[in-house]
Amino acid sequence: MRDAAGSVLGSVEVAQTVDAAFVRRLADAAGAAVTLRAGPTYSTESTRHREAVVQAAVGVRGNAVADSAPDRYVRRLDPSPGQPLPLALSVPRGEPGGIYAVLVGAVVLAGLLAVIAAWWLARSTTRPLAELGRAADRVAGGDLAARVPVRVRDEVGRLAAAFNRMTRETQSYVRALTASRDQLRNHLAVLGDTLSSTHDLHRILQVILQTALAATGARAGVVLLFDPASGALVAQCAEGLEDPDLRVPVGSGLLGMVAATGEPLRGRIDRDGPPRLDHEPRCRTYVAVPFASPTAGTDLDPPALGVLALYDRLGLDEFDDADLVTLRTFAGQAAVAVDNVRVHEEAQRLSLTDPLTGLWNYRYLKESVRREVERASRFGRMLAVLALDLDRFKEVNDTHGHAAGDAVLTEFARRVRAEVREVDLAFRQGGEEFVVLLPETDARGGATVAQRLGAAIRDTPVEFADGAIGVSVSIGIAVYPDHGVTGAQVLDAADDALYAAKAAGRDTYRIAVDGRRPESRELPVPAGAAPPDDDLPQAGGASPGTHPPRQSRGR
């Protein structure tokens, strides 16, 4: 050991005991078998290899490697600085043929794995595409239930999932269209049956509106007709509206503008307008179509103006042109229905009314007497029947001509209508004979009406082109159930009473008696005749100087 200047301070010797355990540690550190060549022989070689290794190491020069030992490579290590031991190291000698076999096997295995990977990749790519192609062919053939299995979530899997979603939505849409078509077909069948089987205008318009709603998918709708009396559009039927009794002035609001211009409108209320009235239906989208009578602009009939409007199409933002065309079709049906009902009502009126006087005719008299007798029987009321006949009417025709006679009949009918109530019915039975039905009226009330009618005819002559004619009327009165239990019996009793009035000198009235024999004296009626005990309104119950409500057509 030396100091910093290099002077020798002393020496230290370190020794390590060499034994079998030490040699094993050397072998473990070197990774080879270790044999000590000098002194006691310590070795990690097997007994079979130990002497051969030592002999091989003797023949090796320096630190060379020998392979003379069986199945071993041997290297000789002589003592050197830091390594004072004479050693022999050996490792097993491997066969190169095994390595080549391993290499070939590895290459073959790698090739096989490559083929398997290529087959799997091709199958995982082309198989979903083939399945997608077959499913597309099925869909093209009309099978919307075709689906593609989704095995992985790669690009092909996402494509298959999108295809399945598309077919599901298409199938749902087709089902909805089929259901809508069937529903529309049913509505059209109901519409056709309704148009051909009834003249109930409200029912027809309701079916038209329901069919239009089903055809377009609208949430709500309304059909309005023009009311000449008020100058407004009046709702006839409505679906899905808060106010079904809608009234809109023509020229105001959305519906009023459609009626005024005669042009259909559709769009969004917040974008397209026109401004909506406060009481018009609240909506987001709308379509409104006007319609008029098919005879509009002709001399046959004035137009029956109306509007068909739908609101808020379900599932879509706005009504389209197809909806507008569909609504025009239904509006045309509504116009035809309105015109048909009006023509039917006019034809029915003409068939039941007298063309000269405008009163109900003999045909309607038979039906009305039967109906009023049934009603009086059901509710325990009375029915007065007045049979009227103009006195010496033949002399009017013979003296002044038939034109004057027609004028007398027309004026007589007008005065009769003016003296009876709205609930009373006036008929021209034929020629100069007339009948008046007074529901819920007894003999006293019938006598009061007869007095009033006689005075109205007698007191004012009938004016015509060549002058004035004074006329009078004879009246027979019969009451259900006092003078008959059927309509025919009551009419016969009234006729018998009329003949009695004629026999008594005309210009008077007579009341039938039990057994249909008319009284021979007039029934005195006080000026303020009292009503029956049930306080129901009676034909003769008006106070002096007053008249009951008048009617415009004897009804």
Contact in structure between 433 and 499 (CB atoms under 8 Å): no
Q: Quick check: is 555 in a domain?
A: no
For residue 397 the two structure tokens come to 């025709």
396 in the same domain as 288: no
Q: Quick check: is 357 in a domain?
A: yes
Other CB atoms closer than 10 Å to residue 96's CB: what's the count? 7
* 3-state secondary structure (DSSP) of residue 86: coil
442 in the same domain as 331: no
Strands 509-513 and 473-480: parallel
Q: Quick check: is 545 in a domain?
A: no
* Concatenated DSSP letters of 143-194: -TT--------SHHHHHHHHHHHHHHHHHHHHHHHHHHHHHHHHHHHHHHHH
Which residues fall within 8 angstroms of residue 134, CB to CB, at 6 or more apart?
Answer: none
pLDDT at residue 302, as a whole number: 44
Q: Quick check: is 550 in a domain?
A: no
Which residues fall within 8 angstroms of residue 472, CB to CB, at 6 or more apart?
Answer: 390, 391, 454, 457, 458, 506, 507
8-state DSSP, 8: B
476 in the same domain as 377: yes
420 in the same domain as 370: yes
Q: Quick check: is 524 in a domain?
A: no
Other CB atoms closer than 10 Å to residue 248's CB: what's the count? 25
pLDDT at residue 330, as a whole number: 79
In a structure prediction context, what are the per-residue pLDDT tens digits for the chain, which is 555 residues long? 888 898 988 888 888 788 888 888 888 888 888 888 777 778 888 777 777 777 777 777 766 777 666 678 888 888 888 778 888 888 887 666 577 788 888 999 999 999 998 888 777 777 777 888 888 888 888 888 888 888 777 777 888 888 888 888 888 888 877 776 666 666 666 666 666 556 677 787 888 888 888 888 888 999 888 888 888 888 888 888 887 888 888 888 888 888 888 888 888 887 777 788 888 888 888 888 888 866 555 443 444 578 889 998 877 678 888 888 888 887 887 777 777 777 777 777 777 788 888 898 888 898 899 999 999 999 999 999 999 999 988 888 888 888 888 889 999 999 999 999 999 999 998 889 999 999 999 999 999 999 999 999 998 888 877 778 889 999 999 999 999 999 999 999 999 999 999 999 999 999 998 654 444 334 333 333 333 444 433 333 333 333 333 333 232
Residue 88 is part of which domain span? 20-92
Q: What distance in Å separates the CA atoms of residue 33 and residue 27, rounded to the nearest whole number?
A: 5
498 in the same domain as 366: yes
459 in the same domain as 377: yes
468 in the same domain as 418: yes
Among residues 259, 256, 217, the alpha carbon closest in space to that of 239 is found at 217
* Concatenated DSSP letters of 279-347: TSPP-SEEEEEEE--TTTTSSS-----EEEEEEEETTSSS--HHHHHHHHHHHHHHHHHHHHHHHHHHH
For residue 186 the two structure tokens come to 């049913």
345 in the same domain as 206: yes
Q: What distance in Å separates the CA atoms of residue 90 and residue 376, rounded to the nearest whole number?
A: 141
Q: What distance in Å separates the CA atoms of residue 155 and residue 161, rounded to the nearest whole number?
A: 10
168 in the same domain as 247: no
Q: What distance in Å separates the CA atoms of residue 209 and residue 214, rounded to the nearest whole number?
A: 9
Q: What is the CATH number of the domain that holds 514?
A: 3.30.70.270
pLDDT at residue 96, as a whole number: 61
444 in the same domain as 488: yes
Q: Quick check: is 15 in a domain?
A: no
| Ramachandran quadrant class, 481 (left: phi over 0; alpha: psi -120 to 50; beta: rest) | alpha
User: How many domains does the chain contain in total?
Assistant: 4
pTM: 0.44
pLDDT at residue 549, as a whole number: 36
Q: Quick check: is 11 in a domain?
A: no
Among residues 332, 361, 517, the alpha carbon closest in space to that of 428 is found at 361
Which residues fall within 8 angstroms of residue 341, CB to CB, at 6 or more apart?
Answer: 199, 200, 201, 204
Q: What distance in Å separates the CA atoms of residue 276 and residue 387, rounded to the nearest whole number?
A: 57
360 in the same domain as 322: no
* Concatenated DSSP letters of 459-508: SSPEEETTEEE---EEEEEEEETTS-SSHHHHHHHHHHHHHHHHHTTSSS
310 in the same domain as 374: no
pLDDT at residue 197, as a whole number: 59
Q: What is the CATH number of the domain that holds 161?
A: 1.10.8.500
